[in-house]
Structure 1
Amino acid sequence: MDTSQEAIARWCQEYVAELLEVPASSLGLDTDFDKLGIDSALAVSLLMEVEERYDVDLSPETLFENPNLNAVAAYLHEQLRQRVAP
């Protein structure tokens, strides 16, 4: 599995697009979640899927501290990089 920041952002974008029933291309990676129409229930769903897909534990605050898809991808990429660092 590709764990580059870009791949994580793309996967998140596609997942959220499916939840919102919109084309993935319509979701800006730097657009804040509230402007994308992501409410707390959808945010929790995204958080749970990210945790399962990438085998990480994230606090709910993670999405508030990283309020768009690129920010979440950057945060997750850094967490995964630190996990494999010697």
Structure 2
Amino acid sequence: MKPRFFKLSYLVWIVVPAALWLTYQVAGLPHAIWSYSWIDEGQGYDPFAHRTYTRCSFVGPYGQFDLPAQNGRCGWVRFFKEEAR
């Protein structure tokens, strides 16, 4: 019986970089929430109060993106692509 020097399982590690590259091509790079605005209904800065957000600002590798809130909510992370210049 000959020893087998190459197995298909040796290439499994390629899946992770390929998935990262595909995510980058499809969705862009992650940008974290930096600031937000909300409708003040008298709750002030109470951390447990329900808020309806109006504007979300995200910061990341491609700069700052200001977006209106979706359904009164802001996510923690959004993916953006580099704007064409």
Question: Which TM-score tier does this pair reach, normalised by the shorter chain?
Answer: under 0.3
Structure with the higher fraction of residues in helix conformation: 1
Rg larger in 1 or in 2?
2
| TM-score (norm: length of structure 2) | 0.19
